[in-house]
Each structure stands twice: as C-alpha cells, then as structure tokens.
Amino acid sequence: MLPHQIQTKPPIPWLGGKRRLLKHIKPLIPEHQLYVELFFGGGALFFDKTNPKPVPAVLNDIDSELVNLYRVICHHKDEFVRQFDHMLYSREMYNQLKVEAVSGGLTDIQRAANFYARVRQSFAARADSGQSFGLSRKTIRAPRLFNFAQFEQISAKLKTAIIENGSWQDVAYRYDWGGLFSLPIRLIGKRKAIKVILILSNIKISPNL
C-alpha cells in the first residue's frame, strides 16, 4: 500500500484530539493539492485521511517534544522501538521518566521515547507539568504502551510530510499556496467550551495575523 493510501491511528492519544469528530470532519474536506495542519497535536485527521493520489502535507505544532517524537518515528523508528525493550508500565518508572525529562542529557531518540512513555502512562494523556500516573479500574492499560504494530505505517505516512515546529501564523503564511488548512478554534461560553474545526480551502493568509 502506498503512503497516501494508508489509514492508521495516531501513535499517541492527545488532549483535545479530533478522533471522535472524524466522521463529521472528513465529509467537509474538499479536493486539495496541499494539506496543512497548523495545530497538529495527535494528528488524528492526518493519519486517518487517505487520498487517491499523493498530496504534499505540512504538519506543524508549537510543542517541540511532540515534534521531536514525530521526527524520530519518521526517521529512526526501529531504534525508537528498541528503547522499550526493558521498560515497564510502572508508577516508579513513570516518576523516573519525569525526572529524566527535566534533567537533560538525553539524545533525540531517548527524548522521544521518554515523552511517548509519559504520555501513554499519564492520566488523560497529559504531557504538561500536571502529569500524573494513569490507572484504569476497568481495563488493564499496560499492553497499550508496547503496541507498535502500526508504527511501520505511521512512519511511512510521516515520510510524506514536512514537519514544522513554529507558530501557526508563521507556518500559515509560509505555506500560503492556496491549499487546505485544518485549524481548530475554541469558543468559550459561560458554561461550556465548544470546539469548532474550520476547514479552510484556497485562502490567503495575512502576514499580520
């Protein structure tokens, strides 16, 4: 199967991800020659979306740890997976990973493995300073940490994209070629937050955004 025909799941869950909204978003996607994700996050739409022919993609996120993870999976998948040969789903190891993350001295591959393990083991897939060890009373989550069955497809799909790590304004202006932009906007009401996904096609981006 060619990379643009691959349909797979994201490598990590992500707070605010679009996986449950895919059935509503995908029918809105028009034919396009360029696909740009300005807030990539977990990448649910990109990994699920297929095209009849290859379409250039730009994947951007401001989170450098997240971007490093995708670059490592893209270019060093096998070595990344080997980092988990002796890793356990363990509260003690999870706390150790948090210490290592702030102490520095890790290679890019080690940083990516550390970040991946912390997100997969944290409550609600938190990746910030509020992380805490996650444990479900209903299911045994440990095997999910070591499920790399789809990483071959994930790596192949990432190889078709340019991965950026910048502000959404800069990336939008840089790739303003009249392509398809996926842009999430949060509207905060008095009692609840509503997430709206805007699919913008053939737009012109102002450099003053």
Tell me, what CATH number does 84's domain have? Answer: 1.10.1020.10
Q: Is residue 113 one of the residues assigned to a domain? A: yes
Does residue 206 fall inside a structural domain?
no
The domain of 142 spans 3-201
Residue 187, pLDDT above cutoff 60: no
Q: Is 38 a domain residue? A: yes
pLDDT tens digits along 142-186: 545 667 888 999 999 999 999 999 998 899 888 887 678 887 755
Assigned domain for 123 exists:
yes
Question: pLDDT of 34-48, one tens digit each?
Answer: 899 999 999 999 999
- pLDDT for 144 equals 57
Residue 20 lies inside a defined structural domain of this protein: yes
Domain count, the chain: 1
**Is 207 among the domain residues?**
no
Q: Specify the pTM.
A: 0.84
Q: Quick check: 82 and 52 in contact, CB under 8 A? A: no
**pLDDT computed for residue 120 by the predictor:** 86
pLDDT at 195 over 60: no
- On whether residue 66 sits in a domain, the answer given is yes
Residue 198: pLDDT band (50, 70, 90) is low
Residue 58 counted as domain residue: yes
